[in-house]
């Protein structure tokens, strides 16, 4: 019974993963199909730029914050 549930959960997670990755791919492919209107910046001409930028931004934020956290984080009773 319990095993069944985990099995079902796993297959559900797998489906979600496939849908998610599919959407990721579609969003990049669509970018190639849609012509850019009046680009403002240099990078507006690069297809998939926002995908790359979104991905790297997230990682930069996480890593930078974790690095800063070494200096900023304190125990919960720090101010008490």
Cα separation, 53 vs 42, in Å, equals 14
Position among 7, 24, 45, 46 found at the interface with another protein (CB under 8 A): 24
Half-sphere exposure of 44 (CA within 13 A, CB side): 8
Cα separation, 49 vs 42, in Å, equals 10
Cα separation, 73 vs 66, in Å, equals 9
* Interaction residues for another protein, span 26-45 (CB under 8 A): 27-28, 30-31, 34, 36-37, 40-41
60 binds another protein (CB under 8 A): yes
3 binds another protein (CB under 8 A): no
User: Where does this chain bind another protein (CB under 8 A)?
Assistant: 20, 23-24, 27-28, 30-31, 34, 36-37, 40-41, 48, 50-55, 57-62, 64-66, 68-69, 72-76, 78-79
């Amino acid at each position: 019974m319990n095993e069944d549930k985990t099995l079902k959960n796993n297959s559900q997670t797998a489906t979600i993963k496939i849908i998610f990755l599919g959407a990721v791919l579609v969003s990049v492919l669509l970018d190639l199909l849609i012509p850019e209107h009046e680009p403002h910046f240099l990078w507006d001409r690069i297809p998939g730029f926002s995908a790359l930028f979104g991905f790297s931004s997230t990682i930069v934020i996480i890593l930078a914050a974790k690095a800063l956290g070494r200096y900023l984080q304190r125990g919960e009773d720090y101010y008490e």
